[in-house]
Amino acid sequence: MTKKKTLSPGLIVVYVILIIWALTTVYPIIWVIQNAFKAKNKILENSFALPTGDLFTMANFRKAFETTDIFGAYKSSLFISTMVALLVVLLAGMGAYALARYKFPGSSLINSLVIGAMMFPAFATVIAVFQMEFRWGLANTGSWLRNMMSVILPQVAGNMAFAMVVLTGYIKGLPIELEEAAYMEGCNAFQIYFKVIMPLTKPSFATVAIFSFLWSYNDLFTQSFFLRRPDMYSITMMLNNISAKEGTDYGLMAAVVALIIVPVIIVYCCLQKYIIKGMIAGAVKG
């Protein structure tokens, strides 16, 4: 696994480039967090300064916690996004396997349908979905669980096409020999899928799961249509609600943005270890 490396000039250039890009991705987050601790009228003058001494204030966070039920919002958001990620991985994985391996009449049409589905703008479909779900008694009810489901289902569908495209591309790249070997041993298609394909596809599953989770977490439009009651608000809904009326209170904005992204980044950094493990597991087999 180890690559022998000496610190050549080429390698230094590589590191410099990587570090510069890393700065552009990390600094904005630091910038937001440090400004979350400043009063709103100080931000524009002093956006680069660290919030120390007179600049420092907790007022933004105080207001954020006072005016919102942030823990309830986390609960809703995490439940929705976890469910979406799980369902997408499970169902899209099966679909992608079929698309990657089976050749049947109309398979290219199905491919087009999948790519087309990826294009459907949510603004074009949300009304019909709402009317449908209301008829089923899912949308706009008093039940927390049903309300969550009313968001989860369209989000699963919305992420399905993307997941299938990524997973199909990945499965196609897997060597077919392993499947043949399993077939020789008498496995049927389902056993092959669960015993051979799924373990091999783990890294790609992880990628898809993360993206589905994040898109669901950050998808304001669908949520704002289905989650109406403040006690069921998700975290992005809260940000939007606050920014709508007090868009110039940059301090409060920064505080709320920080409250939204910091947990996600922490969770992502923790899971990162397992994701890498999954990736390596895939690599060994390849």
According to CB under 8 A, which residues from 65 to 104 bind other proteins?
66-67, 91-92, 94-95, 97-99, 101-104
Instruction: Return d(Cα 249, Cα 195) in angstroms, integer.
Output: 54
Task: Tell which one of 70, 86, 198, 210 touches other proteins (CB under 8 A).
Answer: 210
Task: Tell which one of 33, 55, 70, 166 touches other proteins (CB under 8 A).
Answer: 166
151 touches other proteins by CB under 8 A: no
Chain length of the chain: 286
Task: Tell which one of 34, 37, 89, 162 touches other proteins (CB under 8 A).
Answer: 162
Asked if residue 97 lies in contact with residue 197, where contact means CB atoms within 8 angstroms, the answer is yes
Q: Long-range contacts made by residues 44-49, C-beta under 8 angstroms, separation at least 24?
A: 44/250
In the complex with other proteins, the residue whose CB is nearer, 50 or 113, is: 113
Amino acid at 94: M
Q: The tokens of 98 are what?
A: 């079929």
In the complex with other proteins, the residue whose CB is nearer, 75 or 202, is: 202
Task: Tell which one of 78, 125, 198, 199 touches other proteins (CB under 8 A).
Answer: 125
User: SS3 for 108?
Assistant: helix
In the complex with other proteins, the residue whose CB is nearer, 79 or 134, is: 134
Q: What angle do CA 83, 118, 124 make, to 5 degrees?
A: 90
In the complex with other proteins, the residue whose CB is nearer, 50 or 221, is: 221
Q: Provide the mask over 212-241, with x wherever binding to other proteins is found by CB under 8 A and - wherever it is not.
A: --x--xx-xx--xx--xxx-----x--xxx
Q: How near is the Cβ of 71 to other proteins at its closest, in Å?
A: 18
274 touches other proteins by CB under 8 A: no
Estimate to the nearest angstrom the gap between the alpha carbon of 137 and the chain centroid.
Answer: 28
> Footprint of other proteins on residues 6-25 (CB under 8 A)?
10-11, 14-15, 17-18, 21-22, 24-25
In the complex with other proteins, the residue whose CB is nearer, 59 or 75, is: 59
In the complex with other proteins, the residue whose CB is nearer, 1 or 71, is: 1
> Footprint of other proteins on residues 168-187 (CB under 8 A)?
168-170, 172-173, 176-177, 179-180, 183
In the complex with other proteins, the residue whose CB is nearer, 50 or 116, is: 116
How buried is 247 (Cβ within 10 angstroms: 0-12 exposed, 13-18 middle, 19+ buried)? exposed
Q: Which residues contact 99 (CB under 8 A, 6 or more apart)?
A: 107, 110, 111, 114, 164, 168
How buried is 122 (Cβ within 10 angstroms: 0-12 exposed, 13-18 middle, 19+ buried)? middle
Asked if residue 205 lies in contact with residue 167, where contact means CB atoms within 8 angstroms, the answer is yes
Give residue for tokens 């919002």: 73
Q: The tokens of 48 are what?
A: 């680069």
Q: How near is the Cβ of 99 to other proteins at its closest, in Å?
A: 7
277 touches other proteins by CB under 8 A: no
- Nearest Cα neighbor of 216 from 130, 158, 150 is 158
Q: How near is the Cβ of 83 to other proteins at its closest, in Å?
A: 13
